[in-house]
Amino acid sequence: MEIIHLSAECYPVAKAGGLGDVVGALPKYQCLAGHHAKVVMPMYRTRFLYEHEWDVDFKGHGRMGGRHFEYTVIREKTNVLGFDLYLVDINGLLDREKIYGYDDDTERFLAFQLAVADWMNHWEHRPEVVHCHDHHTALFPFLLQHCYAFRQLAGIPTVLTIHNAQYQGIMSWDKISYFPGWDQWKWGLLDWNKHINPLASGVRCANRVTTVSDSYLQELRYSANGLENLFEYEKGKCVGILNGIDTEVWDAMTDPNLVKPYQLREVAEGKQANKEALCEQFGIRDPENPLFVFIGRLVGEKAADILPDAIMSMLYTHTGKLSVLVLGSGEPHVEWQLEAMNERFTGVYHAVIGYHEKLAHQLYAGADFLLMPSRVEPCGLNQMYAMRYGTIPLVRSTGGLQDTVTDIGDPEGFGIRFQHATVGDLYHAMERALNLYSDKEQMEWIRKFMMQIDHSWESTVDEYMRVYQSIQ
């Protein structure tokens, strides 16, 4: 089966979050299963672009309202990612260093979708399915079905995966001039609350809609940033499929980023060696203490705003009994609070503002506990990475976190769950972790148990293939 993935992100080409990880892994494992998966994304000016060789696959032109644009599609020569990778370049729109955050993001991602549709118009064959990811590509099903220029593509089945419904790409109706000629009787497929809503349009127009965990699918029916009624109405076409992780990239035994790679039988020794290296790097005094880490975006969705108070309370109340490292970036006031704590808690705490892939791997390997107090977590990958490295996740019971983490109070439990994204609940969870850490025998069992949980992509690929086959 030929599968075309359309996405704004794909690791390691360009990544801002979990979307990039998924699109960088799912196509690879689909190819390993014998299918022909391709990824098509914008040509950002990233290191990956300049470090690899490319062939020009196609040149074309399009129009977005009064703006005429030319586009170029290039293909990575060596199949280095395990699948065909195509980048679409549009001068003045897609030739940026960052993925998001520009005033013209609406125009950028619409132009990308228009260029891809025009390019596919010139193909001599049709793929079995086009798989769109999040709002950046969610208008594609509408374009194929209801824009006159692309009507010959209307029969191609489409799937939309929602990685995060909080972001919907909403635009005002004056942007409708950007669309090529379309069947105006179908305006209702674009409209939601008197605005054009790409995510809502994708849910309506795609043949199937998937979310990245079953619990998140259920949550969307009562918490979807205004689209709750839509998900209730369209529930018949929706299915939750839990993300996998790339077990070749995330493997404590072969990870080149670690000071000491380790396998199951030496997990305690391996983690301790990596912890000691982190403590030396960041001036943490006592590597025998439990090490808590946070890795991720410092934004409201991740409940990063509760981290400073919760961490300070723990460090004051349990002086000298724990250490904390934070890696992330996001809201400036949260960054400032966390960074300001470096001087106050020297020797037991350090925050690194930014994102460093190598350091993230080292933190998963060296930490004892991972903090994930998320308000919204459609699937969550960090907790799966942590488990793969024998690090115990402390998670709020939401979305994919409750689908993947069983509390230590339950049979065969291995994580710590709490109900509310509050300072009090996170503080209490960290206290439970301190008590757990003192039981070396249970810690050893939990670490080994977690590292053997199968969160690989192989089983997930089978679920996606069943979705694709249902719409052929």
2-244+457-469 and 264-451 agree in CATH topology: yes
List pLDDT tens digits, range 358-388. Answer: 999 999 999 999 999 999 999 999 999 999 9
pLDDT band at 139 (very low <50, low <70, confident <90, very high): very high
* pLDDT the model gives residue 370: 98
Please state, as a whole number, how many other Cβ atoms lie within 10 Å of the Cβ of residue 255: 19
Per DSSP, the three-state class of 168 is coil
pLDDT band at 458 (very low <50, low <70, confident <90, very high): confident
pLDDT band at 13 (very low <50, low <70, confident <90, very high): very high
Tokens linked to 326:
């934070």
d(Cα 410, Cα 60) in Å, to the nearest integer?
Answer: 58
d(Cα 336, Cα 89) in Å, to the nearest integer?
Answer: 36
Residues forming beta bridges with residue 57, ordered by sequence position: none
* pLDDT the model gives residue 19: 94
**Burial per residue of 72-82, b for 16 or more beta-carbon CB atoms within 10 angstroms, e otherwise:** bbbbbeeeebb
Strands 195-196 and 191-192 come out as antiparallel
pLDDT band at 18 (very low <50, low <70, confident <90, very high): confident
pLDDT band at 207 (very low <50, low <70, confident <90, very high): very high
- Strands of 2-6's sheet, edge to edge? 54-64, 67-76, 84-89, 36-42, 2-6, 129-133, 158-162, 208-211, 238-240
Contact yes or no for 267/390 (Cβ under 8 A): yes
pTM: 0.90
Class of domain 264-451 as given by CATH: alpha beta
Task: Please tell me the least confidently modeled range out of 102-111, 241-250, 423-432.
Answer: 241-250
Give the residue, 65 or 5, on which the prediction is more confident: 5
List pLDDT tens digits, range 265-322. Answer: 999 999 999 999 999 999 999 999 999 999 999 999 999 999 999 999 999 999 999 9
pLDDT band at 153 (very low <50, low <70, confident <90, very high): very high
* pLDDT the model gives residue 375: 96
* pLDDT the model gives residue 70: 97
Written as one letter, the residue type at 363 is L
Q: What percent of the chain has a predicted confidence (pLDDT) above 90?
A: 97
2-244+457-469 has CATH 3.40.50.720 classification: no
| Contacts for 58 with CB less than 8 Å, ≥ 6 apart | 72, 73, 119, 122
Any idea how long the chain is?
472
pLDDT band at 355 (very low <50, low <70, confident <90, very high): confident
Place of tokens 């220029």: 149
DSSP 407-459: BTTSTT--BEEES--SHHHHHHHHHHHHHHHT-HHHHHHHHHHHHT---BHHH
Contact yes or no for 209/162 (Cβ under 8 A): yes
Place of tokens 């069992």: 445
Average pLDDT, the chain: 96
pLDDT above 90 (res 259): yes
Residues forming beta bridges with residue 30, ordered by sequence position: none
Question: Is residue 329 classed exposed, middle or buried when 0-12, 13-18 and 19+ CB atoms within 10 A define those classes?
Answer: middle
* pLDDT the model gives residue 17: 83
- Annotated domain spans of the chain: 2-244+457-469, 264-451
Query: What is the C-alpha end-to-end distance of the chain, expressed in Å?
Result: 11
Question: Is residue 471 classed exposed, middle or buried when 0-12, 13-18 and 19+ CB atoms within 10 A define those classes?
Answer: middle
Cis omega before residue 42 (within 30°)?
Answer: no
Cα angle, residue 166 at apex, residues 161 and 169 outer, rounded to 5°: 80
Q: Give the ranges where 251-327 is alpha helix by DSSP (H).
A: 267-282, 307-317
d(Cα 290, Cα 186) in Å, to the nearest integer?
Answer: 58
* pLDDT the model gives residue 313: 98
* pLDDT the model gives residue 29: 96
Contact yes or no for 398/375 (Cβ under 8 A): yes
User: What's CA 216's distance to the chain center, in Å?
Assistant: 14
pLDDT band at 50 (very low <50, low <70, confident <90, very high): very high
